[in-house]
Structure 1
């Protein structure tokens, strides 16, 4: 092994040499162990300098992790299912004609309690939204409720195939039933829901509680639609300096606090086949009956009131486009029956003597079948006369501040408001008239009048040439005149929007995204999840702070402790050296020639 010299480590006055042949074994072994300890301490210190104190490097790593945690999702790209920080949620809209599944996803919350989750529709590899629809509606299972879970199985299997399996147990599933289920007796509703609540947890691992399957009211559906459109428009985002279209809001229960400054929200108009809805935010000063008002906090913390909203929302059953046409046809039959009986006429009873319908295009032939009877119609195409004919169906009263059927409607600040019209409001303006988007009442009225007054043969020829929207069919062409008049009357006579109102946009897509009430539902029902993430991050942050306190911000203390340890080792070596020089060699050997360590005082 040769000689081992450590003279380079100590001052000249401390020099001494040791070798296996001249140095007693215990001293040589102890010395080597202590020397190894010194070298190990130096090595650890170098690692500390290279790794822990390189704040820029570790800062970049932390930022990279933060980007994966909190970065906003793109709207049109395929969802990165390999990202472990994404969360998923499922909403099934069980409507009257079918059930439709939507899968949503969002990154972890950014930690700001004022912001909502960044929820987007999940997109598959083809960049299309993960959506699936089945028919008929779940209400058709009223007589066989035990088949409800089997009925929804294709939708749930579809969702399970798209969502990473490792995420299934933490993915909330909501099954929300609307108009079709509302009209069923309560015992039939409960039987269907009970089958879902019992069987689905047996076959799927999604996060599914009993409260996740329910029949929602028209009011809830309207609120969810209002939340969805305003979320897509960014009206719930935190405002910044210089932000346009802001409003001061006095929130309920905050009388002693200053008004909150936030973005002005948009109102929603939605006309389906059966019902029509309206929803918009109202100030605290407006007194509204509880059954017409929804007060809710979209924020994750009940103590933060920046996202408290008061929304007037009402659903009018029987005021959808198809329901209104059905009522109108019933009136025609009643009118024909009464007139023919009194005057002895046969109007509408044969094709040669049809009833002239001002709400159908010129010269189109149509039939009404009811009670085994057939009534023959021929279009007259008079838009203004059609409006007069259907105006009584609004059930308006002479009272002020009322809308359809005399229901109270809070005052709308038309000068400082914005509304979006969906479903029939969009179809009436776009599918045939090709005027979807910004609503101009004068242009719309002129286009509707011209359409009604055009002969059916010409309209049919235009349809065959593909001049209308790809969504338009012959049914739309036939009843476009009636539905245009009905939409006009509901908007301007029913909801009392001025004829010069310029802040209505009819839409199907907003920012190239289809806006469904299911988006508002998942936002509302997951509103407390950010608080969980914030608390978890705070917990981790405290531990990170402690580690930083020990190794980063107090590295001087670390080096101080290191120097004290090193000095102690050197002093101990010096002590051993002095003892070794003073004692004869024989004292280092015990009985039988065995090594004996000296006692150190």
Structure 2
């Protein structure tokens, strides 16, 4: 009986020591040691360009890589109607135009996540011009946009007009993220890693009202006052970026038409070298006074509002000459680090992605497969020589307002890339005309979302039944300690 009591007591004391150790360990448990797996976070960005608006929905895991989310595109939705700057006289319509895409976005985002979705609205060059022309009208349009988005169950973070440099820099981020210049997944290491000796790609964006060039310059030409600086995935980046307002495709058409009119000997019938032969367009002189880009105070422009007819000539060489006059190349003098209009630019280096209107125009001309510069020039010259009857019969599905403008667009792209940005026969092969990488659209919005994930905190951990791990640890420790005291009491009772 004595032996059994001794063995039993020894076992109880061993259990007491074990429970005491467990209680000590649990009392030291920290909150961050008991997290559950990461969850998915969502964000949405509106790209409000000069001619149209698009909505993109992105998602990323809450556990970031070096403080930046690994983001993927979930939805792309094109808003019906023109750019929001067109609603200056009826701002409520700008907000209403977004509803269809907002409804689509909520269909792909889980209901439980919607109120945590960061929603941003960024307007670009079209609204920059409206703000310059009529700032109160621009404010009213943005106010209606904000009012509409705030009706939806998302975390609205503001509607604003972003700068041209921001647009260019975010486009550069998008390109290099999609091409894994910043981070890539290593199947061997089972983790995201920074690529060794990663080469970045330059970004070329052509919109309706502005155009942007962004790249990481090399050599001693770098003017650090003209660079954008930011941190992604734990690394610092410095790039050159510049945005040229009024050098977007739509504003180029207006500026080109105006120059042809003021230089024409006829006041009512003006030859247009870029338009196809037998094509005619009637334009009012008053239309040039609606945009800051056509310089309303130009003394060469007649003050009356008469209509002028532009008559196509299918003149390829004449078109190129007329387009080049839109640039002030003489302002650079003999400087090698200058593009046009006296704007500083270091020499282009590395590979470039040309997207937006760069891509759409060259895609129409079947020039996005890496053709040589000689082939590109020959194709453009041949297209510009065709008549309106020839084009309209061979491209029956193409927008009849867009079709006659491809000649001017193509010559404008050539002038911008070769004469302004100074690509040449050799570096031309480093330009890739693309609009998507995989299933993701190329543009500034993804880069904008990536940069913002640096500031969006990782989602707060979710704990069982809403309790924090420190409370659970304390509760278990208390129960263990109480059990231990009970065992001590039992041992004392047995020995008495």
Instruction: Output the TM-score relative to the length of structure 1.
Output: 0.62
Q: 1:374 to 1:510 in 2, by over 3 A?
A: same
Correspondence 1:365 to 2:279: yes
Correspondence 1:173 to 2:99: no
Structure 2 CA distance for aligned equivalents of residues 239 and 406 of structure 1: 43
- 2:360 corresponds, among 427, 432, 436, to 427
**Superposed CA offset, 1:316-360 (max 9, x none):** 1222233223322222222322xx59xxxxxx74xxxx84x4434
Give the structure 1 partner of residue 422 of structure 2: 496
How many Å apart are 1:276 and its aligned residue?
1.6
Give the structure 2 partner of residue 319 of structure 1: 247
**Superposed CA offset, 1:253-302 (max 9, x none):** xxxxxxx9641211111122322211112359654374x43212234xxx
**Superposed CA offset, 1:100-131 (max 9, x none):** 22211112225x42x73121122xxxxxx352
**C-alpha contact 1:239 1:263 (8 A) present in aligned 2:** no
Correspondence 1:418 to 2:347: no
Give the structure 2 partner of residue 271 of structure 1: 206
Higher relative contact order (CA 8 A, sep 6+): 2
Correspondence 1:163 to 2:109: yes
Structure 1 CA distance for aligned equivalents of residues 143 and 347 of structure 2: 42
**Superposed CA offset, 1:448-469 (max 9, x none):** 12222344444444324xxxxx
Q: Superposed, which structure 2 residues align to 1:399-414 within 5 Å?
A: 399-400=334-335, 401-413=337-349
How many Å apart are 1:476 and its aligned residue?
4.0
Q: For residue 384 of structure 1, give the secondary structure of its aligned residue in structure 2.
A: helix
**C-alpha contact 2:314 2:386 (8 A) present in aligned 1:** no
The alignment covers a number of residue pairs equal to 432
**C-alpha contact 1:175 1:214 (8 A) present in aligned 2:** yes
Unaligned 5+ segments in structure 1 are 1-9, 16-33, 49-61, 70-84, 123-128, 241-247, 249-259, 342-347, 465-469, 552-557, 576-599
How many Å apart are 1:87 and its aligned residue?
0.9
**C-alpha contact 2:227 2:239 (8 A) present in aligned 1:** yes
Structure 2 CA distance for aligned equivalents of residues 313 and 200 of structure 1: 31
Give the structure 2 partner of residue 79 of structure 1: none
How many Å apart are 1:133 and its aligned residue?
0.9
Give the structure 1 partner of residue 46 of structure 2: 92
**C-alpha contact 1:333 1:375 (8 A) present in aligned 2:** no
Structure 1 CA distance for aligned equivalents of residues 217 and 382 of structure 2: 38
Structure 2 CA distance for aligned equivalents of residues 438 and 87 of structure 1: 38
Structure 1 CA distance for aligned equivalents of residues 282 and 343 of structure 2: 31
**C-alpha contact 1:279 1:312 (8 A) present in aligned 2:** yes
**C-alpha contact 2:172 2:202 (8 A) present in aligned 1:** yes
Give the structure 1 partner of residue 404 of structure 2: 478
Q: 1:374 to 1:500 in 2, by over 3 A?
A: same
Give the structure 1 partner of residue 263 of structure 2: 335
How many Å apart are 1:516 and its aligned residue?
2.6
How many Å apart are 1:528 and its aligned residue?
2.7
How many Å apart are 1:505 and its aligned residue?
0.3
Give the structure 2 partner of residue 51 of structure 1: none
- 2:324 corresponds, among 391, 409, 413, to 391
Give the structure 1 partner of residue 378 of structure 2: 446
Q: 1:153 to 1:484 in 2, by over 3 A?
A: closer
Instruction: Output the TM-score relative to the length of structure 2.
Output: 0.74
**C-alpha contact 1:168 1:206 (8 A) present in aligned 2:** yes
Q: For residue 404 of structure 1, give the secondary structure of its aligned residue in structure 2.
A: coil
Q: For residue 329 of structure 2, give the secondary structure of its aligned residue in structure 1.
A: coil
Q: 1:515 to 1:373 in 2, by over 3 A?
A: same
Q: 1:327 to 1:309 in 2, by over 3 A?
A: same
**C-alpha contact 2:274 2:312 (8 A) present in aligned 1:** no
**Superposed CA offset, 1:429-484 (max 9, x none):** 221x21214252111112112222344444444324xxxxx7x4344432222222
**C-alpha contact 2:50 2:208 (8 A) present in aligned 1:** no
**C-alpha contact 1:238 1:262 (8 A) present in aligned 2:** no
Q: 1:276 to 1:199 in 2, by over 3 A?
A: closer
Q: 1:199 to 1:375 in 2, by over 3 A?
A: closer
Give the structure 1 partner of residue 81 of structure 2: 135
Correspondence 1:523 to 2:455: no
Please report the RMSD computed on the Cα atoms of aligned residues, expressed in angstroms: 4.2
Give the structure 1 partner of residue 228 of structure 2: 294
Give the structure 2 partner of residue 282 of structure 1: 217
Structure 2 CA distance for aligned equivalents of residues 529 and 482 of structure 1: 44
**C-alpha contact 1:283 1:310 (8 A) present in aligned 2:** no
Structure 1 CA distance for aligned equivalents of residues 108 and 119 of structure 2: 14
Correspondence 1:379 to 2:316: no
Q: 1:370 to 1:88 in 2, by over 3 A?
A: same
Give the structure 1 partner of residue 59 of structure 2: 105
**C-alpha contact 1:239 1:262 (8 A) present in aligned 2:** no
Q: 1:140 to 1:276 in 2, by over 3 A?
A: closer
Larger radius of gyration: 1
Q: For residue 263 of structure 1, give the secondary structure of its aligned residue in structure 2.
A: coil
Q: For residue 325 of structure 2, give the secondary structure of its aligned residue in structure 1.
A: helix
**Superposed CA offset, 1:146-168 (max 9, x none):** 67655544443443343222112
Give the structure 2 partner of residue 119 of structure 1: 71
How many Å apart are 1:170 and its aligned residue?
1.4
How many Å apart are 1:195 and its aligned residue?
5.2
